[in-house]
Structure 1
Amino acid sequence: MNLDALLDHPAFAGAPPRDLDAYARRAYAQLAVVNEAVGGAGPLLDDPRTMSAVLDWAAVVDPSLFAAAAIHYAVVLTSIKELGRPEESLESAIASLDRLDAVGAILITEIGHGNNHISLQTQAVYEPETRTFRLHTPTPGARKLMASIALPGVAKIGTVYADLVVDGRSCGTFAFVVPLRDAAGLRPGVLVEPLEGSVPVALDYSVTSFDGVRVPYDHWLRDTASITSDGRFEDPLGNKDRRLVRSLALSAWASLAGAVGLASASRAAAAIALRYAATRSTMGRLSPDRPVLDYRTQQHALYGALASAHAVTALVDKAIEAFLAKPWEVPPDETAITFSPWVAAHRTHALAKAAATELCAEITAECRRRTGAQGVLSINRIIAYEGLAQGYNSAGGDNLLILLDAGRSMAETLQPCAVPDTVTGDLADPDVRLGLLRVQEATLHAELAASVRQAGDAGLSPFDAWNPHLPKAAELARVHQRRMVAEAFRALVAERQDEALAAAERLYGLRDLHRGRAWLLERGVLSPAEALSVADLADKAVDDVAAHAQALLDGLGLPERRLGAWFLSA
């Protein structure tokens, strides 16, 4: 499938428009071209690898196209496929989404309740007389935030998350498939306020509320739940938290879809910045008309970004393979919901998304800074990739809440990771660096678990027991993330036996160790001499990456035409 051939289509021609509505309309037109080229949504839903490849391509071409595609395929249609029990009415909606007669939208976050999704206020009230539901927004704080449905003339079908109410009783959070607007305008009872102003990833965002919107029974993504003919709600999962986690089962693929886009944006930013640096000269008086990439500061920054781009790609590829091996499996240790449901739905995938966000933000910001004034021009795309990272701090699960939940669940339900008998040796050795990460994680894990256990034994409330230790919970989760990345990169290098990738792994790992060496020094894990040596080792690793720079650039798999940055062809 040669998606790059689509770049010849008029929908992809020219610079992106400045007007927000025009930009969103262009993204949906591009999505229609992609959908036709791949044969509709069906092939993507049947083959997650193909979906991943399409999302990877879209993120490089335009993060707005990626966002529209990720919501449409990886969130809306995936959740319908996984949780829906289609009859005639829902089959019609699925067909519209498959043909892209309507674009999918997700409506979950509420303006008055942050990004945790634990206690949604939007209600879907069951009416036994008609065997349908009525969607209501009971308060201004229950309005849905950031749904991309404001653009006139573009039909939208949304998955709306709401509290199901049967016979006056709350039965838990479910998703409902709701036609929101067609070519003629908004559907009855759907109220939309466009969100004005600039956003990191341009789409037609809105604040949305519902006034008695009728929803057919089969548009309820009920999974294994049901309402009997005499109006009795039944759910074999047994409680609301389990149902919330299951209703967000899509989060596994939604998190991974976000991670795919973030890894793609990271690679694209590194490729653009390095290709530009290779042609850019500086008139600094140390050596007039010298290529800027000859300067050590530029080498550290951009070769470091290149190594990190390969690292985040290794992490995301490993997460996708794990998902494909056991799709939709919720690991048995991930059950408790504290701050948000994402870790309970799947801790590893949620942490992979959060780690990819942080790495993408770091890579794109560095590449923007190192390309000077050109870096802030939208036609050169780096700032758009940086915007994608900004957006995914909250999209697909708030990253801070993911870290807090992950740290807490690790301390309460898991044993500390195994540590090697010794971690002495050459710090340029990836196995030594992995050993250091394991020591740090295991120590933080044991200390956090002991502190919280002591607080519980002292009779403190859950809030008073945990609140002083939340920074430590986030720190534990971050170190665990670092280990996830390091192990994924180590496994890739071991599999490929590639000298260029080994050089990138070494530079990435030493830069990571350099940032984290203070804790190791404070705890006596590293000696002062060892801690001082890390900077020199990283400096040498820059030379190793420089020697393999072209191979590593080629390994990003990004032809210049797909990158499309103006200054590469100006």
Structure 2
Amino acid sequence: MTESAFDAGELRRLLDGRWAEVRERVREALRDTALPSGDHLDTESHRALTLEQMHALVESGIPELGFPTEHGGGGDPAGSVVSLEMLPGNLSLMVKAGVQWGLFGGAVVALGTERHHERYLRDIMGLELPGCFAMTETGHGSDVQSLRTTATYDPETREFVVHTPHEAARKEYIGNAARDGRMAVVFAQLITRGESHGVHALLVPIREATGKVADGVRIEDCGRKAGLNGVDNGRIYFDHVRVPRENLLNRYGDVAADGTYSSPIGSSGKRFFTMLGTLIRGRISVAGTAGGAAKLALEIALRYGDVRRQFEKPGTGEEVAVLDYLGHQRKLLPALAESYALHFAQQELVAALREMGSADERAQRELESRAAGLKAVTTWHATSTIQTCREACGGAGYLAENQLAGLKADTDVFTTFEGDNTVLLQLVAKGLLTNYKDQFDDLGTLALARFVADQFVGAVFERTATRSLVQRIIDRAGEDDILDRGWQLKMFDDRERHVLDGLARRLRKADRSNAFEVFNNAQDHVLRAAQVHIDRVVLEAFVGAIDRCPDEATAEMLDKLMDLYVLSNIEADRAWFLEHERINPRRAKAITQAVNDLCQQLRPHAVELVEAFGTPREWLTAPIATGAEESRQERMAAHDRDGS
């Protein structure tokens, strides 16, 4: 066995970060609370188990974290996001908890006012009021602004009439709707005095306390899914359902008793995006949990690869551990390095969420953009990594007991819920292109294209503490060493600038006759711009984390992981770097060799590195992983005995 070259405890502290206490609190709660996955159960039994486990979470006090202290909460929305990240071994529970306390409860906190907080929050926290977040419709998923459900104010009765005007306007795939939800936050077009004021949210009862569906409401069960079958997704229709005027969540728009509409935000577009921006906790939670699922999959696969032996090494009489093969290392170790990079980027995102209340408008848009981009990149990373881990474990990885099949099924939908990833990357690009200007909300396609071309290049390189550190490193960059941090940062920096500059040139071709076509034809370039921007953001978060690491040996280990993350990224994108003469063929070959070398250097520490994430041990149930740990401990004991 190779001795550890870093302080595992120091690495854990760095990875736990600012919310170490929350992470440890969840680990401790899981030691005292059995929350096993119900994937082996039939649908109804799985749903019943998940609801029972939700009540167990209530007893732990964890759900209170994200709610205001004046109503019995912990006043830490960011800590609440971190707590969900710690539930990767039971993703049905994580999603149902996210719906109840993140989406439903979070919407009441963010969009409601004191009258709603006082009346509902304690019941939401305690699960006395199970709820839904009813935004998505059959005909409009990503295009929330065009939802068709209506909420028409009737001044005579002082009620809103909530209605589903046609089949495509039904609320679709709504968590907690099919079985347990009693109230829904319903997003609908608000109409008063014959005028529409855009999408607003209202509290609409969908079931009575007895479980009977409310009058005027029709609910259909979405049925069994590929995964997450502990979550009761349903479709909801409203047939002229009346709710009191006070049920409007009125922080950003209100209707007086006589039907007069008022809002603190004059622009309807700006009001809409402000409302949605307050709800990004769900998106950030999905990113964190997807990252957690990838880490769990990597721990299973790396533990198994560390002990699974295949083919004899000539002259030794011993078979070789599959993780000693370079091909196996190349499957898993770049994914581990990327998991580290995304973990630190998620840390920065959660920290920004904590400061959201004091952020100015530009910082708010930056947060929304970063949340969208990291959600897309992290969920795609999880999907890819879990599949790679399944293949790396051969037939054993296909067995349900070894968890990878369940992780694959449960996380597959993450790429399309809380925002379709392709649409989210377009949101990132629009945020870059408009530089978060006030005009954004009211720009048409042509005006957007012209504004983009004139103003955005270079504006996306924000002046933050980390960015200043990065720029100092770039300024010292060498020209020949691919392991030089300044050179690596310059490659990511330069790629982003080049892609954005090229996109601006394409958009300058727009005029009134072809604005849509120009923008649509550049969509591949738009998505590319968003992707390379997020790559740069993730890398810089990694740089900042290493800069915070006080232990030299641990920082050196993280340096190797960062080298692997950077060079694997460049290797995967080498066509672009070669086409644009950022590297030559000789350097491209050197990068491939460096990736090989780094994989071999990191291999002896692979299991320790994935353990450092601190995934709660209760989630690691795969026999190929737990048996591997027993085998590993036996080998370490033998090493201690004979000194070999």
Q: When the two structures are superposed, what TM-score results if normalisation uses the length of structure 2?
A: 0.81
The match for 1:415 among 457, 476, 497 is 457
Equivalent residues of 1:162, 1:175 under 8 A apart? yes
SS in 2 for 1:304: helix
1:365 deviates by 1.6
Out of 587, 595, 603, the position equivalent to 1:546 is: 603
Moved more, 185-194 or 48-57: 48-57
Alignment-derived partner of residue 132 in structure 1: 159
> Does the CA-based 8 Å contact 2:372-2:427 persist in structure 1?
no
Distance 1:21 1:431, change over 3 A: farther
Preserved CA contact (<8 Å) 1:407 1:474: yes
1:444 matches 2:499: yes
**8 Å Cα contact 2:620-2:626 kept in structure 1:** no
The alpha carbon displacement at 1:544 in A equals 2.3
Matched, 1:173 2:195: no
Q: Does 1:504 align with 2:546?
A: no
- Structure 2 SS opposite 1:125: strand
283-292 or 474-483, larger mean C-alpha shift: 283-292
Distance 2:206 2:117 in 1: 14
Alpha-carbon displacement from aligned partner over 1:398-455 (angstroms, at most 9, x marks no partner): 2111212322442325223569677723112233112111111111111111211122
Q: Measured at CA, do residues 330 and 468 of structure 1 come closer, stay the same or move farther in structure 2, by a change above 3 Å? A: farther
- 1: CA distance between counterparts of 2:364 and 2:27? 40
Which of residues 530, 536, 540 is equivalent to 1:483? 536
User: Offset of 1:26 from its aligned partner?
Assistant: 1.7
In the TM superposition, what is the alpha-carbon distance from 1:108 to its structure 2 partner?
A: 0.8
Answer yes or no: is the 8 Å Cα contact 1:115–1:394 preserved in 2: no
| 8 Å Cα contact 1:107-1:144 kept in structure 2 | yes
Q: Match for 2:86 among 57, 69, 91?
A: 57
Residue deviations 1:139-167, cap 9 Å, x none?
10001111023444x34322111111112
**Corresponding residue for residue 76 of structure 1:** 104
In 2: Cα distance, 1:206 partner to 1:348 partner: 30
- Counterpart among 24, 27, 30 of residue 53 in structure 2: 30
Change in Cα spacing, 1:201 to 1:40, as seen in structure 2 (3 Å) is: closer
Asked if the contact 2:76/2:354 (under 8 Å) is kept, the reply is: no
Query: What pairs with 1:93-492 in structure 2 (closer than 5 Å)?
Result: 93-152=120-179, 154-181=180-207, 182-202=209-229, 203-283=231-311, 289-327=319-357, 329=359, 331-332=361-362, 346-411=368-433, 412=452, 414-416=456-458, 424-456=479-511, 459-492=512-545
Q: Distance in 2 between matches of 1:118 and 1:328?
A: 26
Please, what is the CA RMSD of the aligned residues?
2.6
Question: Percentage identity across aligned positions?
Answer: 25
Q: Are 1:25 and 1:151, in contact at CA under 8 Å, matched by a contact in 2? A: no
Is the alpha carbon distance of 1:161 and 1:277 closer, same or farther for their aligned partners in structure 2, counting shifts above 3 Å?
same
Q: How many angstroms apart in 2 are the aligned matches of 1:566 and 1:175?
A: 47
2-structure distance, mates of 1:140, 1:107: 15
Offset of residue 11 of structure 1: 5.5
Contact 2:323 2:603 in 1 (8 A): no
Q: Secondary structure at the match of 1:176?
A: strand
Aligned-residue offset at 1:314? 1.0
State the TM-score, normalized to the length of structure 1.
0.91
Question: Offset of 1:263 from its aligned partner?
Answer: 1.6
CA deviations on 1:269-310 (whole Å, 9 max, x unpaired) are 111111122232225797874322122211121222221221
- Indicate the residue corresponding to 1:525 in structure 2: 582
Deviates more, 1:209-218 or 1:281-290: 281-290
Contact in 2 for aligned 1:84/1:221 (Cα 8 Å):
yes
Distance in 2 (CA, whole Å) between partners of 1:562 and 1:149 is 24
Distance 1:292 1:155 in 2: 48
Q: Contact 1:403–1:477 at 8 Å: present in 2 too? A: yes
Distance in 2, matches of 1:177 and 1:284, equals 66
Q: Aligned partners of 2:65, 2:332: CA distance in 1, in Å? A: 40
Question: Which AA in structure 2 matches 1:47?
Answer: D
Distance in 1 between the 2:602 and 2:573 partners?
A: 21
Q: Take 2:303 and 2:27, find their aligned partners in 1: how far apart are those partners?
A: 20
Q: Classify 1:564/1:36 alpha carbon distance in 2 versus 1 (closer, same or farther; 3 Å).
A: same
1:428 match: secondary structure: coil
Provide closer, same or farther for how the CA distance between residues 169 and 14 of structure 1 changes in structure 2, counting only shifts above 3 A. Answer: closer
**Cα deviation 1:125-151 (Å, max 9, x = unaligned):** 111122221110001000111102344
Letter in 2 for 1:253: R
Cα distance in structure 1, aligned partners of 2:502 and 2:40: 53
Q: Equivalents in 2 of 1:554, 1:39: separation in Å?
A: 23
Q: Give the CA deviation at 1:348.
A: 1.6
Find the counterpart in structure 1 of residue 8 from structure 2: none
**Cα displacement (A) at 1:508:** 1.3
Task: Report the 3-state secondary structure (helix = DSSP H, G, I; strand = E; otherwise coil) of the residue aligned with 2:200.
Answer: strand
Whole-angstrom CA distance in 1 between matches of 2:197 and 2:358 = 23
Aligned residues: 557
State the alpha-carbon separation in 2 of the partners of residues 484 and 68 from structure 1. 30
Aligned partner of 1:52: which letter?
V
Query: Residues 347-381 of structure 1, C-alpha deviation per residue, up to 9 Å, x if partnerless?
Result: 12211211211222222121111112232334332
Find the aligned partners of 2:276 and 2:335 in 1 and give their Cα distance.
Answer: 33
**CA distance in 1 between partners of 2:204 and 2:346 (Å):** 32
CA distance in 1, matches of 2:312, 2:137: 52
- Deviation of 1:562 after TM superposition, in Å, equals 2.9
**Secondary structure of the structure 2 residue equivalent to 1:146:** strand
Change (3 A) 1:14 1:112: closer
Question: Cα 1:225–1:198, aligned 2, differ >3 Å: closer, same or farther?
Answer: closer
Sort the Cα spacing of 1:95 and 1:10 in 2 relative to 1 into closer, same or farther, 3 A.
Answer: closer
For 1:162, give the aligned amino acid. Answer: A
Q: Distance in 2 between matches of 1:170 and 1:72?
A: 29
Query: In the alignment, is the contact (CA less than 8 A) between 1:85 and 1:222 conserved in 2?
Result: yes
Query: Which structure 1 segments of 5+ residues have no match?
Result: 336-342
For 1:166 and 1:559, how far apart are their aligned partners in 2? 51
| Residue 48 (1) aligns with residue 69 (2) | no
Match of 1:338 in 2: none
Distance 1:32 1:159, change over 3 A: same
Query: After TM superposition, which residue ranges in structure 1, 4 or more long, deviate above 6 angstroms?
Result: 284-288
**Native 8 Å contact 1:116 1:398 kept in 2:** no
**Any conservation in 2 of the 1:7–1:13 contact (CA below 8 Å)?**
no
Q: Which amino acid aligns with 1:177?
A: L
What is the CA distance between 1:530 and its match in structure 2?
Answer: 0.9
2 CA distance for matches of 1:334 and 1:53? Answer: 20
Structure 1 stretch 28-37 or stretch 549-558: which is displaced more? 549-558
State the AA in 1 paired with 2:216: G
Whichever residue aligns with residue 579 of structure 2, its letter is E
2:337/2:561 contact within 8 Å kept: yes
Give the partner amino acid of 1:317.
Q
Bigger relative CO (Cα 8 Å, ≥ 6 apart): 2
Contact map agreement 1:305 1:363 (CA 8 A) in 2: yes
Q: 1:48 Cα shift?
A: 2.5
**Partner of 1:208: helix, strand, or coil?**
strand
Contact kept? 1:90, 1:219, Cα under 8 Å: no
CA distance in 2, matches of 1:148, 1:308: 31
